[in-house]
Structure 1
Amino acid sequence: MNLFNTRIYLLTLILGIAMGKNQNNGFEYVQSSGGIEEYTMKSNDLSVLLMEDHSAPVATFMVTYHVGSRNEAVGHTGSTHLLEHMMFKGSRNFNKKRNTAIWTVLQNVGARINATTWLDRTNYFELLPSEHLETAIAIEADRMRNAFLRDEDRQPEMTVVRNEFERGENDPFDALDKNIWATAYQAHPYHHSTIGWRSDIENVSTERLREFYNTYYWPNNATVTIIGDFEKQEALKLIKKYFGKHKKSKHEIPEMYTTEPKQEGPRRLSINRRGETGMVGIAHKSPEGLEEDTYSLHILSKILGGGKSSRLYRKIVDKGLATGLFMWDFPFKDNGLFITYVFMTPGTDHSKVENLVLEEYENIKQNGVLKSEVERAKAQIRSEMAFSRDGSYSIASALNESIAIGDWKFYTTYNEKISSVKKEDIKNAANKYLKEDQSTTGYFIPESNGEESNHVGAKKVHQPLNYSSKETAETNVSARTTTGIKKSNKKASIAKQIVTSKPLPGIELKTLKTSVEDVVTITGSMLGGDEFSPVRNKSIAELTAEMLGEGTTTQNKFEISERLESVGASLNFSSDNYRVRFNARCMKKDVPLVVELLGEQLRTPAFNETDLENLQKRLIGGLKRSKQNTRTRASGEFKRTLYPKKHPNYSSEIDDIIADVKKVSTKNLKSFHETNYGLGNMRIVVVGDVDNNAISKALKHAFKNWKKSKLFIPDLTLSANDAGPKTHYVTVKDKTSVDMFMGVPIGIDNTHEDYYSLMVANYILGGNFAAR
C-alpha cells in the first residue's frame, strides 16, 4: 500500500469511527467527560448519559425530569411531589389489572426502586441486576407518557402526602428550615418547600396534576442515565425501542422566569414551641449553582463546620454550647442559601450563639483563611467525591443533582474547579455573600414543659422527598414477567471474592476488593457494648465508646482530627448492646494512618474531664430533644412492655438515661476500659481498593502486644414478657401525626434454626411496597 493510499485508508477509518459515534441507532453523540458519554435521541431530543462498569452485575437506571417545586405557584404548591406519588399507581402496560404493577414487576427481580422530588428536578430510579435492565427501561418509558393519573388514586395518595407534611410540621427543625427559606425568598418559588402548603396538598385537583404531567413529562425535558453493567450499543437499542415511541412535546417547555428582588435588609423570624433546647439558623443568599463562587463557598463551609478541626466546632460545640452544627451550601439552579445551623445545649442563649457565628464570618471577611485550612477542606471534598463513585447508584444520584442545576459535567469537573480555588477567592466570596443586609436569621425558641425532636447536627435540611405509599398491597407477588422483555442468567458470587485472615491472635480480618478506585471503607467491632456496663449504670459503656473520639494520652482530639481531615478521612466510634463499633473511610494511600489512629484511640484514650463534661451536655441535649420524637417514644414504650428490665432489648425511660449519663465519671470510664477492652474478639471488614498485605501490616503494627479482653458473649436465658394483648398510649403534646408499633414475643434469637425463615416471612409481610 503506497503512502497516498495509506493516508486515504487512515482518513476513511477516522471518519468511520467519528460517524460511528454519531450514528448510534438513531442517537447523536454529544460529548464525554469523566468516563461518561452523552447522547441525544434524534427523534425526540431525549438526553442519555451512559457509563459502563462491569465490576458487578448490577446497573442503575434513572430518569431525571427538569421539573421541581420551582415550577409551581401559589394554589398548587406540592404538585410536583404529589404527581411523583401518582406515577406509581399504574400506566398503560404496567398496572394491577394486567398483573404487572410497577412495584411487583421490579421488586420481584430484586430491584431497589424509588423516586424523589426537589426544588429543580424529579427523578425515578431502579437499582437492579443488570439482566433486568430492560424491565426498568420499559417501565420508565411507559409511565413517561402513559401514566393513568386517576382521581380514585389521588384521593388516598393525598392523605399519604399530607401525613408527610404533618410529620415535617411536627419537627421543630423542619419547621425552622421551612420558615427560613420562606422568609429569605419572597417572589422566587424557592419560597415554598417541596412538600407544599397543606391547603394546596388537600385541594389540588387531579386535572391540575394531569396538566402538570402533560406540560413537563416529555422526552425533550428528561435525561436518562445508566451506570453499571451493560453494553452501550445494546442499551441504546433498548432506549430507542421503548422511549423512541414518544414524540417530543409540541409545545415549548415553560421556563420559570420569576427572579428574586434584591434584599434590602436583614430578616428575622422565630418559632416558639414546646421544647427544652433551642436552634439557630443563619442564612445568606448564595450564587447560582454553576457560578464560580459556588466552589469557594463549598470550601468555606468546610473551614467553618467540616469536622472537629473546623472553626465553629471549636468555638461553639467544643465549648459545650451546642450538641452539634452543620453548614448548608447545596447548589441549586438559581440562587440558593448558605446556612449555618446550630443545635444548642439546654440553657444556651440564642443571641450568644448567633454572635459567635457572625464574629467568625467577620473574622474571615477581614483576615481571610489559612492556606492549611484551604488544603484540609480541599482534601475533605476530594475524598467525598471519591466516595461518591462507590457504586452505580451513587454516581447516578450525583449526576442527577448536577443535571438539575444545569450541567451534568458539574459532577465530572468538580474536583478540578475545587483545586483551582485560592484562599483569596474564599475571602472575596465571604465579603460578597455574607452581608448582613442579605441575611435571614431564624430562632427556634423552646417553651417550657415540652420537648422536641431528635436532631444532633443531622443533615436533615431542605432534603428531596422520597416516594412512600399508603397502598402497600398495591401489587401481587405472583405477577407475570412482562411480555417481550428478555431474561439472562448472570449471577454474582461475592463469597468467593472475600479473603479471610488473622493478622494477630484475636483479630479476624475479612477483605473484599471492588472496582472503586482509591477508596477504602473499614468497619469493625469488638465486645464491650452496653450489656457489659456495670448494673448500676448502663450508660458507662456508651460513654466509653463516645470518648474514644475525644483524644488520646499522646494527641488531643483536634490533633487527631486535623490528621484525618487533612487527608479527607473519617473515623467514628459507637456502641450497641454487645459491641463497640468503629467505622472509617479513607483513600487507599491513607489506610496506614487511619489504622494507626484506630489502634491509638482504642488502646490509649485520654478520658479528659472537660471533654467528658461537654460530651455529657451534648448527649443530654439530644436525649431531651428525643422526648418529642413520636417514633422514639412509641418504640421505647413498646420495648418496655415486651421485655423485662434485664433483657438487652429493654429500653429505659429517657429521664432515667439522662440521670445515668450525668452520674458517669472519668474514673468509671477508665475502669471500664481497663477491664473490658482488648483483643480476642475483634472483627474487621475492609472493602474497596484493598491491599491485603498493607492492611495486615498496619493492623499488626497498631495492635501489637495489646492485652487480651476478658469479655465473652453471655448466654441469654431471659425471654420476652408474656404480656398478652395490650394497647399502650403515649401522649406527646402538639403532635398531629402518630407512630404505632405492633408485635408479639416469639422467643428466638439469631442462632435459632428458624431465624432466617422468619426474617424472610417478615419481609414478605411488610418489607417493601409490594409486601402483603
Structure 2
Amino acid sequence: MTSQQTDPDLKPTRSGFLRRLLPGLAALTAAAVMQQAHAGTVATPPAEAAEQHTTAPADAAGFALPAGMTRGPSVEGVTEYRLENGLRILLAPDDSKASTTVNMTYLVGSRHENYGQTGMAHLLEHMLFRGTPTLRNALAEFSRRGLAANGTTNADRTNYFASFAADADTLAWYLQWQADVMVNALIDEGDLQAEMPVVRNEMERGENNPFQVLLQQMQASAFRWHNYGKSTIGARSDVENVDVGQLRAFYRQWYQPDNAVLIVSGSFDVSATLAVIAEAFGPIPRPERTLPAEYTIEPTQDGERSVTLRRQGGTPLVAAMYRAPSTADPDFTALELGVDMLSDTPSGRLHQQLVRENLAAETFGFSATLRHPGYVFFGAVLEPGMDADKALSALTGALENLEREPLQEADLERSRNKWLTGWERSYANPASLASSLSEAAAEGDWRLFFLRRDRVEAVTLEDVQRVTAAWLTPANRTSGRYIPTDAPRRAPDAAELDVQALVADYTGRDEASAVDAFDASPANIDASTQRETLQLPNGELRLALLPKPTRGDRVEARMVLRFGNEDDLKGLRDVSEAVADLLHHGTQSMSRQEIQDRYNALRASVSVDGGGNTVAVSISTVAEHLPAVVETVLHVLREANFPEESIEEYRKQMNTAIADAQSQPGPLASRALARHDNPWPADDIRYTPTFEEWRAGIQALDRAALQAFHERFYGAGLIEFSAVGAFDSEAVRDALRKGIDGWKTAPAYTRISDPYRPVPPEKFQIDTPDKANAVLLSALPLNVQDTDPRYPALVLANYLLGGSETSRLWNRVRVEEGLSYSVYSNLSVSSHEPAGAWSIYAIHAPENSRKLERVINEELKRALEHGFTDQEVEEGIRSLLNYRKLGRTNDGSLASVWLRYLNLDRSFAWAAEQDERIAALTAAEVNGVLRELLKPGLFSTAIAADHAKQKEARK
C-alpha cells in the first residue's frame, strides 16, 4: 500500500541494469502476481480448534501463560498460541536481528466477495488506516514512531504488518492498535469518499500494465465460477459505487479474532509479549456469527480457451495458463518445480526453444500459491515484429511435449536448490519469515511453510514428470489462441483437502539453537567490524568484515571493483553496462548454466550492477559457503567470455525494455528531466541518450567491444569488500587473496565527478495515449554536500515535506484531496562534492493533473511562509531517528553501507554524529534551511499523461 524512507546511508544496492528498465519480468510477474495470486483459508471451526489445543499451566519455556491462553503446536522455533476468542498467535523469536515484525493476517480476500462487492476486501484494507475513534490517522502515527508499516490484500487474505527497531513499548503500542482496529474501525462515509480517488488511482496504475490486464483477463477465462477469476482490486463500478453499510457489514463479518492470525517475529520478550497480547485481544469476545460455507468448485476445464488483448504501447506478449491444484496438495510441489524447470533461464526448454531460436526475447513462468485449486503461468516477451502466433505455438508445444521429451534429473536438482535457498533466506529473516507464515496460513495452515520444504527435498523426478505432464495439457490451457482438438485430454480432478488433518501430527524438525542478540548501535557496529586495507602485489583490497550471529547462519556480502576515469570511458557507456549485465553468461571454463548451478549448489544469490568505471556484486549465502562463493564470483569477474548468443539475447531484451519504457509515463518523465539536465557531450559516460540513441547503442554492441572493455578495465587495483553475518573472517580473506592473486592491475581509478550546475526551470508536457495513470515529476538542483552544516536540517525538512506518511504533501495530496496513491519528495545529496537534487513525485489520474500541480504548489508555498511547527519537528526527529535505527538492523543494508563508507573513509561514527545533529535540531533551524534552499520557481517539471483525458477534464 505504501512505502517508507529510511536512512540515506542505508539504501539497498540497485538491481541489474536490465531490471531497472523492464523490471525483468519482476514488474510483470512479481508485482502483478503478488496482487493477483496469493492464498488464504477460512477460519478453523471452534470444535476443531478445541481438539487441537489443550490447556497447560505454563509454556514449554517455563513461564506461566496468561489466563485464557493455550499453547498449540511448535515447529522449529515457531510456536502457536490461542486465545479463547479464537485468535491464533504465532511467535518466532530471533534475537540475532535487533528488529521486530508484527503481521496481522485476516483470512479474507477477494475470493470471499459477493456479487457487486468486488474490490471490497482491498478497499477495507485502505479504510482501516483511516482510523478509529482513538486514532484517526494510523499511517501518520506509524511514521511518527518509526514503524515501516504497510498492508496488502490478495485473493485469500488481507494482512497488516510493521517492522521497527526492537522496542517493548513500540511493540505494545502497535499490538494495542491492532486490537483497536479489529473492532473499532470507523469506516466513515467521509473517509470513504476521501480514500476513493486513492484506490481509483491504484486501480489505474494497474491498468497501465498490459501484462497485468492480460493476466486478469486470462484468469477470468480460466475461472468461470470461482472468484479467482476476479481481480483483487475489483471492478471499477463496484468500487466507485460501494455502499458504506455493506462495507461495514463485510468488516464486522470477517475482521474477528477467530478469523485472524497474529504473527510476531524477531527480537522480543516472549512472556511479556504474550501478556500484552492477552491484555489487548483477550477482552474481544468470540463472535456469535458463523462464517459462510464455501461450496463453489471450479469444474475441470474441458477445452482450450483464449484471450486477446489490444492496447496502445508496450511490448508483445504471449502466454499460457494452466489450472493447477491448491498449494497444500502434495502434487502442487512437484508441479511448482516442474514449472521452474521448464521456465528457467538459461536451462529451461522455453528459453532454449524460443529465445535461442529467435522466436522471443525473454521467457518466464511462475506458480500461483493459492488456498483453492489455482493455476500456473508461462509467458514470452517478444520484440516488435516477431511472429506472435509462431511464438505461442512454440511455447505451448514445448510445455505439452513432456511425454516425448521428459524432464531431466539435473534440471530438478537445479530448481530444488534454488527453491530451498529462497526458503532458507526467508526463514533466516524475521520480516520475511512473518510474511511467509502469513502466506502459509492463507494457504491452509502456517505449518505448510515447513511441510512444503520437506516435500521439495523429498520429491522425485518421477513425481515431477507425472504431475507436470498431467496438468500441462491442451484441454487445461487458457492462451492467446483457440485450437480445436478432436479428442481433448483432460487434467485430473483437483481434490479438496482437509488441511488440518494433513498437518495435525506434523512436528517438523529439531528447533535450531537460539542465536545471540546483536546490538545494532553505531558504536557497537564499529567495534564489531574488522576494518583493514590489504596491500596486495597487484593493488589494494579494502575490507569491512562484521561477523555476527544470524538465524540459519546467513551472511550478506558486497564487493565493488573500481577502475579508469572519464577520459578512458569516452564512448563506452553502453559497452560498460552490457559487460556488467553479461558477466554471468559464461567464462573460459564454465557455461552460463554451470555458473548458475554452482551458485544454487552453494545456496547463494548473486547479482551484479555495473556501468561506467565501477561494477558492484551483491552476495547472499550461508556461512560455510561464503569463501567458495567469493572464489566463484572472482572467477566470473576475471574470466567472463561473453558468448555471442548471450549478446544477441541481450539486444532483444533491451529492445523490448526500451520499447516498453517509451510508452510508460514514469520512464518518459524521468528521461525528459534527465536530458534537460544534460550538459555532457554524447560520448561522455554521464550523457543521457534519447531512446533512439539508446537503442542504436545497444544494436551496435558486438563481442569484440565487450571483450576489449573487459580485458582493459576489469582487474585488481582497487577492490572493496564487506560482509555482515555468520562467517569465518580468515577464510574469507584467504578466498579473496586466492581469487585476486595474479590478476592484472586495472587502470587507476578516478571518481567521475558530477558537480552542481544551475538548470533553467522548464515544464514538459508528455502525451501518453491510452494510459489510465499519469506521472508528475519535479526536480530542483541543490548546491549542497552531505558534509554541509545544513545537511541534517535539510534531511529533516525533506522528511517533513514529503518523506513520510505524516508529511505535508502526503496529508494534503493523498489524505485530504485523494489525488494520488503515491506522492513523496526525495532528497539526493552527494558525499563527494556539492551536488544534489530535491525531487517531487506523484502518480495521478490525467484529468487531475492541473489540480495536483496547484495543490503541490500551495503546500510548498505554505511550508515556506509558515514553516514547520515545533511539534512537527519534534515528532519528525523521533520518527526519522527510529527509521535510521531500523535500517541498521538489516544485514544487507549494513554490508552496503560499509562498502560506501570504505570508499569515503568513514565509519558508523559518521551515522551516530548525524543522529546527534538531527536530534538537536530546532524548528527555527529547519525552517531556515528550508527557506534558503527550497525554491519552487526553480523546479523543472515533467507531466506524462494522456492529453485527450486532460482535455476532457478541462471541458
* TM-score, normalising length: structure 2: 0.71
* Secondary structure in 1 matching 2:717: coil
Q: Which residue of the partner structure matches residue 37 of structure 1?
A: 79
Q: Which residue of the partner structure matches residue 500 of structure 1?
A: 531
Structure 1 residues 496 and 334, CA gap change in structure 2 (3 angstroms): same
Structure 1 residue 194: Cα displacement = 0.7
Q: 2:564, 2:747 within 8 Å by CA — same for their partners in 1?
A: no
* Residue 216 (structure 1) aligned with residue 245 (structure 2): no
Q: 1:303, 1:310 within 8 Å by CA — same for their partners in 2?
A: yes
Structure 1 residue 664: Cα displacement = 2.2
Q: Which residue of the partner structure matches residue 3 of structure 1?
A: none
Q: Which residue of the partner structure matches residue 750 of structure 2?
A: 713
CA distance in 1, matches of 2:202, 2:403: 40
Match of 1:93 among 104, 109, 134: 134
* Secondary structure in 1 matching 2:100: strand
Q: Deviations over 1:693-738 (max 9, x none)?
A: 12111111111122222242346364334313x3111111111211
* Secondary structure in 2 matching 1:113: strand
* Residue 762 (structure 1) aligned with residue 798 (structure 2): yes
Q: Which moved more, 1:197-206 or 1:507-516?
A: 507-516
Q: 1:365, 1:430 within 8 Å by CA — same for their partners in 2?
A: no
Structure 1 residue 619: Cα displacement = 1.2
Structure 1 residue 20: Cα displacement = 6.8
Percent identical among aligned pairs is: 29
Q: Which residue of the partner structure matches residue 413 of structure 1?
A: 451
Q: Which residue of the partner structure matches residue 686 of structure 1?
A: 723
Structure 1 residues 750 and 673, CA gap change in structure 2 (3 angstroms): farther
Residue identity opposite 1:288 in structure 2: S
Q: Deviations over 1:256-284 (max 9, x none)?
A: 32221232211001112223631111111
Structure 1 residues 514 and 770, CA gap change in structure 2 (3 angstroms): farther
Q: 1:529, 1:542 within 8 Å by CA — same for their partners in 2?
A: no
Q: 1:279, 1:343 within 8 Å by CA — same for their partners in 2?
A: yes
Structure 1 residues 428 and 717, CA gap change in structure 2 (3 angstroms): closer
Q: Which residue of the partner structure matches residue 575 of structure 2?
A: 540
Structure 1 residues 752 and 662, CA gap change in structure 2 (3 angstroms): farther
Q: Deviations over 1:331-384 (max 9, x none)?
A: 211111111121123322223322333333233234532222222221111111
CA distance in 2, matches of 1:369, 1:254: 43
Structure 1 residues 54 and 717, CA gap change in structure 2 (3 angstroms): closer
Q: 1:137, 1:239 within 8 Å by CA — same for their partners in 2?
A: yes
CA distance in 2, matches of 1:529, 1:619: 26
Q: Which residue of the partner structure matches residue 644 of structure 1?
A: 679
Structure 1 residue 530: Cα displacement = 10
Structure 1 residue 753: Cα displacement = 5.2
Q: Which residue of the partner structure matches residue 469 of structure 1?
A: none
Q: Deviations over 1:573-593 (max 9, x none)?
A: 222455212223333333233
CA distance in 1, matches of 2:429, 2:182: 26
CA distance in 2, matches of 1:746, 1:17: 58
Q: 2:59, 2:65 within 8 Å by CA — same for their partners in 1?
A: no
Q: Deviations over 1:186-219 (max 9, x none)?
A: 1100111111111111111222211110111111
Match of 2:114 among 47, 70, 73: 73
Structure 1 residue 519: Cα displacement = 2.6
Q: Which residue of the partner structure matches residue 651 of structure 2?
A: 616
CA distance in 1, matches of 2:160, 2:567: 46
Q: Deviations over 1:131-169 (max 9, x none)?
A: 111011011110010011111111121111111111111
* Residue 727 (structure 1) aligned with residue 760 (structure 2): no
Residue identity opposite 1:268 in structure 2: S
Q: 1:328, 1:337 within 8 Å by CA — same for their partners in 2?
A: no
Q: 2:362, 2:381 within 8 Å by CA — same for their partners in 1?
A: yes
Structure 1 residue 19: Cα displacement = 12
Structure 1 residue 535: Cα displacement = 3.1
Structure 1 residues 316 and 520, CA gap change in structure 2 (3 angstroms): farther
Structure 1 residues 421 and 75, CA gap change in structure 2 (3 angstroms): same
Q: Which residue of the partner structure matches residue 778 of structure 2?
A: 742
Structure 1 residue 299: Cα displacement = 1.3
Q: 2:88, 2:260 within 8 Å by CA — same for their partners in 1?
A: yes
Q: Which residue of the partner structure matches residue 604 of structure 1?
A: 639
Q: Which moved more, 1:647-656 or 1:133-142?
A: 647-656
Match of 1:402 among 422, 432, 440: 440
CA distance in 2, matches of 1:690, 1:756: 35
Q: Which moved more, 1:385-394 or 1:116-125?
A: 385-394
* Secondary structure in 2 matching 1:364: coil
Match of 2:219 among 167, 170, 181: 181
Q: 1:46, 1:219 within 8 Å by CA — same for their partners in 2?
A: yes
* Residue 108 (structure 1) aligned with residue 139 (structure 2): no
Structure 1 residue 636: Cα displacement = 0.8
Q: CA RMSD in A?
A: 2.5
Q: Which moved more, 1:644-653 or 1:335-344?
A: 644-653
Structure 1: stretches of 5+ with no match in the other structure: 1-13, 96-100, 445-488
* Secondary structure in 2 matching 1:338: strand
Q: Deviations over 1:299-352 (max 9, x none)?
A: 112211234233322333344443332222132111111111211233222233
Structure 1 residues 707 and 760, CA gap change in structure 2 (3 angstroms): farther
Q: 2:563, 2:747 within 8 Å by CA — same for their partners in 1?
A: no
Match of 2:311 among 266, 273, 276: 273
* Residue 252 (structure 1) aligned with residue 286 (structure 2): no
Q: Deviations over 1:419-469 (max 9, x none)?
A: 12111111111232112111101389xxxxxxxxxxxxxxxxxxxxxxxxx
Q: Deviations over 1:101-157 (max 9, x none)?
A: 422332222211010000100000111122111011011110010011111111121
Structure 1 residues 330 and 587, CA gap change in structure 2 (3 angstroms): farther
* Secondary structure in 2 matching 1:506: strand
* Secondary structure in 1 matching 2:194: helix
* Secondary structure in 1 matching 2:294: coil
Structure 1 residues 545 and 762, CA gap change in structure 2 (3 angstroms): same
Residue identity opposite 2:527 in structure 1: K
Match of 1:587 among 609, 622, 626: 622
Q: 1:22, 1:29 within 8 Å by CA — same for their partners in 2?
A: no
CA distance in 2, matches of 1:236, 1:490: 25
Structure 1 residues 748 and 16, CA gap change in structure 2 (3 angstroms): closer
Q: Which residue of the partner structure matches residue 98 of structure 2?
A: 57
Q: 1:92, 1:146 within 8 Å by CA — same for their partners in 2?
A: yes
CA distance in 1, matches of 2:158, 2:415: 31
Q: Deviations over 1:493-532 (max 9, x none)?
A: 4333322234544222222334122333322222259967
Structure 1 residues 322 and 764, CA gap change in structure 2 (3 angstroms): farther
Residue identity opposite 1:553 in structure 2: Q
Structure 1 residues 533 and 300, CA gap change in structure 2 (3 angstroms): farther
* Secondary structure in 2 matching 1:270: coil
Q: Which residue of the partner structure matches residue 635 of structure 1?
A: 670
Aligned residue runs from structure 1 range 659-698, under 5 A: 659-698=696-735
Q: Which moved more, 1:20-29 or 1:412-421?
A: 20-29
CA distance in 1, matches of 2:789, 2:218: 53
Q: 2:128, 2:185 within 8 Å by CA — same for their partners in 1?
A: yes
* Secondary structure in 2 matching 1:709: coil
Count of residues paired in the alignment: 708
Q: Deviations over 1:221-270 (max 9, x none)?
A: 10111111112211111011111221121101223322212322110011
CA distance in 1, matches of 2:685, 2:134: 49
CA distance in 2, matches of 1:490, 1:383: 26
Q: 1:531, 1:538 within 8 Å by CA — same for their partners in 2?
A: no
Structure 2: stretches of 5+ with no match in the other structure: 1-55, 483-518, 809-955
